[in-house]
Structure 1
Amino acid sequence: MPEVRRIRADEASAIRELRLGALLDPAADIAFLETRAQAAARDDDFWEDRAVSGATSERVAQFVAETDAGLVGTVTVLRPEPGAEDYFGRANPSGRAQMVAVYVADDHRGTGLLGELFAAGEAWAAGLGSAEFSLDTHVRNMRAQQAYRKLGYEPTGRTIHGPIGLEIEMLKRP
């Protein structure tokens, strides 16, 4: 089983390659808010800033799954200030963390790795005071919805019109 851990500040190149790989997934157009071309066009400073913040911030943390061959999965956890607007313009409720940028390489799906990534991210956020966790997924991304339900996330009934279409909000209260 891959090792699940928080990224290190010096892993900009590795997280760039993981993101570019994720954006090749057949469901990428209903799973991510950017295209592969957009991600590929980002400069080194962008990836370095992302690695440093994902490794050291108390507002964002990126968790990865690593094998001898490299990174094979990721989830990023956002802990915005209460009331701050998120990527869809919603005010963040106090005590809520958001799970975003979720990806597990095809050959590692169905192994429990997604659960390990989420457990690591949820434990980190809970340790800083988050009492519930949310995520958004495209209404047509049934594979993701099923996986998130297995992890305890349930639809809230709230939908959001985002840049890639209609998304549903899912929530977990441990």
Structure 2
Amino acid sequence: MDYVMRSVRAEEWPLARQLRLDALQDPAAPVAFLDSYEAAVARPDAFWQDRTAAAAEEGGDVRQFVAESPEGEWVGTVTVLIERPEDDVRFGLPAEVNQGHLVGVFVRPEVRGAGVTDALFQVAVDWAWSLSAPRLERVRLYVHENNPRAAAFYRRFGFVPSGQQMPVPGSGSGPGERRDWELEYVIERG
């Protein structure tokens, strides 16, 4: 595989923005992301600049990794959020231990099955385990109950269902509407 896995750089915000917009147009987006293309495309450049700068900052609580083709095209991404028990909850259940939380997973359809997703996850999880302050005890992610392809990949990579679940924000909010669930998967530090 000739793809390079690396952290984003702050000045690459236009590429980060475009990859996110592409991800939100993927057919799996409704069960993969808690965001919409319409909302994302309307955000100002300053939002994308701040988001990318935070994900590139050494020593920060967020790190975004991308898969880059030999031609320089970004073909995938995953972001790691650092969560501590004392932190405000960004998404999901409160952290009981210091942990990484993988979010924003996307790999372009034309490279799926080529090892890119495995390589992205490996660099993200390795980075999480490499931290000493805070030392992370586990890495988690959430997967929509109606996203079996993603769930199968997560299990194959080594994540296991924790048994925790949370309702998808906004689902089942009206009379007679079905509530959708996000299922938590984890890898514990060995």
Q: TM-score, normalised by structure 1?
A: 0.94
Alpha carbons 2:84, 2:99 under 8 Å: kept: no
Which deviations, in whole Å up to 9, do the C-alpha atoms of 1:96-146 show, x marking residues without a partner? Answer: 110000000001111111111111111111111212110001000001001
Correspondence 1:83 to 2:86: yes
State which of 112, 117, 123 in structure 2 corresponds to 1:114.
117
Aligned ranges for residues 32-111 of structure 1 at < 5 Å? 32-56=33-57, 57-67=59-69, 68-88=71-91, 90-111=93-114
Name stretches of at least 5 consecutive residues in structure 2 with no aligned partner.
172-179
Q: How many residues align?
A: 174
Aligned ranges for residues 125-140 of structure 1 at < 5 Å? 125-128=128-131, 129-140=135-146
Between stretches 2-11 and 65-74, larger displacement belongs to 65-74
Q: TM-score, normalised by structure 2?
A: 0.87
How many Å separate the matches in 1 of 2:89 and 2:18? 25
How many Å separate the matches in 2 of 1:24 and 1:82? 34
Alpha carbons 1:104, 1:114 under 8 Å: kept: yes
Name stretches of at least 5 consecutive residues in structure 1 with no aligned partner.
none
Dislocated runs of 4+, deviation >6 Å: none
- Find the structure with the greater CA-based Rg: 2
Alpha carbons 1:2, 1:65 under 8 Å: kept: yes
How many Å separate the matches in 2 of 1:92 and 1:43? 31
Deviation, 1:69, is 4.8
Identity %: 38
How many Å separate the matches in 1 of 2:44 and 2:83? 25
The secondary structure found in structure 2 opposite 1:150 is helix
